């Protein structure tokens, strides 16, 4: 499965050009985002779709991106945005693995139990990726990759390998 990743700050230079490419629905959604950081994350996701996949996609009411030719999933965390493109249903999540985060407290609150630093981020991203996969009560496969202190998780209905491309 292909996963494309980019540093969000790379996209900011083409902000106005990206805004002009947005669909009317996406422009309305973009205009409702008040945080500059969230706007940049939104644009980075759309940039990845335009660059890696083209314009053949729709955005459903909840924000899920769909296409007739492939399954897409977006994620962003801190400085990066990522896009997965697959021929079967997929959910993608990435999370910055902050050494300053109190993982014991969060793990307890999330019901993860006692786990190591890496296990915590695997469980966290797996939960988020499963949610994005959107298939309830189906067995899902998780594939993990660490990229520059970010845990990346793909949740899918069949085993996958991650082919990561830095954009």
pLDDT in tens, the chain (167 residues): 899 999 999 887 788 888 998 988 889 999 999 999 999 999 999 999 988 877 678 777 667 777 888 889 999 999 999 999 998 889 999 999 999 999 999 999 999 999 999 999 999 999 999 999 987 766 689 999 999 999 999 999 888 899 999 99
Q: Enter the pTM of the model.
A: 0.90
Tokens of 135: 């298939």
Tokens of 37: 């950081």
Which residues in 15-64 belong to E strands, given as ranges? Answer: 58-59
Q: What DSSP element (H or E) covers 51?
A: helix 36-52
| Residues facing residue 7 across a β-bridge | 80
**Pairwise CA distance, residues 49 & 66, whole Å:** 11
- Spell out the domains of the chain, with CATH numbers in brackets: 2-166 (3.90.470.20)
Euclidean distance between the first and the last CA atom of the chain, given in angstroms as a whole number? 16
User: What pLDDT is attached to residue 45?
Assistant: 92
């Amino acid at each position: 499965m292909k996963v494309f990743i980019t540093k969000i700050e790379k996209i900011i230079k083409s902000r106005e050009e990206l805004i002009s490419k947005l669909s009317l629905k996406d422009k309305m959604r973009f205009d409702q985002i008040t945080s500059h950081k969230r706007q940049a994350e939104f644009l980075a996701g759309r940039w990845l779709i335009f660059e890696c996949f083209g314009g053949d996609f729709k955005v459903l009411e909840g924000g899920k991106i769909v296409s007739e030719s492939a399954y897409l999933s977006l994620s962003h965390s801190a400085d990066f945005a990522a896009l997965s493109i697959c021929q079967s249903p997929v959910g993608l999540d990435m999370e910055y693995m902050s050494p300053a985060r109190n993982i014991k407290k969060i793990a307890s609150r999330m019901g993860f139990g006692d786990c190591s630093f890496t296990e915590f981020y695997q469980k966290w991203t797996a939960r988020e990726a499963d949610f994005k996969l959107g298939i309830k009560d189906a067995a899902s496969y998780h594939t993990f990759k660490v990229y520059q202190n970010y845990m990346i998780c793909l949740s899918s209905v069949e085993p996958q390998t991650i082919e990561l491309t830095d954009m």
